[in-house]
Chain A
Amino acid sequence: MADIFFFIFAAMAVGGGVGVVLQKNPIGSLLFMVGTLASIAGIYVLLEAHFLAAIQIMVYAGAIMVLFLFVIMLLNLGHDYRRDFRFGLGMFVAFAISGAIAGLLVRQFGGAEANPIYAHFPGPEGMDQLLREEGVIGAIATPLFTDYVVAFELTGILLLVALVGAIAIAKRKV
């Protein structure tokens, strides 16, 4: 059952991604992107990352995509139906190299249980037990506020700097 849902979500994600690249109108691209993000959130649920699935919908498909939509509408780019594709030799080389690197990484880390790398780690059973003991939120919150608390505070500073920087850049007279 989970496998069927996985392939449905995977097909939606890949179709949405192709739509983002091929759609001429920026708003169409954006709507395809929302579909892709929502199906990735569905895959997070299948991988037992429920908290991240909720964050994905709320922060990504909600806040960030609405920010993009605001900018497209503010700059009045929604009526642009011209083709803006550009193909070149360098593009094909870069495309082939990125595909080859991605494929090699998949071959290295795929193969799941058979791979000896995974012998030292908890595995799906260990993760299920952790989620049962601590709950979906608690399993993330406990390390976030103990081992990774410095990174968490730095993230807050980063957001403040980004906020001030974005306002300063967008307000400046050019």
Chain B
Amino acid sequence: MLAEALWLSAILFVIGTAGVLVRRNAIIMFLCIELQLNAVNLSFVALSRYLGIEGQLYVFFVMTVAAAEAAVGLAIIISIFRHYETVNVDNFNLLKW
């Protein structure tokens, strides 16, 4: 089942990448980043079935970091929305040259 799980993880990661690149809605881009994190977690768990329990520990840490990242990222999105009244990233061009 290892090879199948790794393929599934690769497919989910590429779907997440496509979502980040295609969508312009900041919240959905954020959701797609979570999808990428989950794809990596899946490959960690699949490999931990063969290589030892450490893979599951790393997934534990990745989940904690993902929770912290979601909290801070959504706070940034709220802050941006109050300024621009939109979450479409095409409007956020202050750092663009």
Interface residues of A (CB under 8 A from B): 2-3, 6-7, 10, 13-14, 17-18, 20-21, 26, 29-30, 33, 36-37, 40, 43-44, 46-49, 51-52, 55-56, 59-60, 63-64, 67-68, 71-72, 74-75, 77, 80, 84-87, 91, 94-95, 98-99, 102-103, 105-106, 109-112, 118, 121-124, 126-127, 130, 139-140, 143-144, 148, 151, 155, 158-159, 161-163, 165-167, 169-170, 172, 174
Contact = CB atoms under 8 A, between A and B. Distances in A.
Contact-size category for B: 35 or more
B35 A33 contact: yes
B82 to A, nearest CB: 5
A170 B4 CA distance: 42
B92 interface: no
Interface string B53-76: 110110111011111111110111
A144 B66 CA distance: 18
A47 B14 contact: no
Contact of B11 (A14, A21, A163): A14
B56 A6 contact: no
B57 A20 contact: no
A30 to B, nearest CB: 7
Contacts of B16: 17
Main secondary structure of the interface of A (DSSP, over half): helix
Contacts, number: 226
A95 B18 contact: yes
Given A3-B1, A91-B21, A98-B13, A17 B60 contact: no
A84 B22 CA distance: 8
Contacts of A77: 25, 27, 87
A40 B38 contact: yes
A106 B87 contact: no
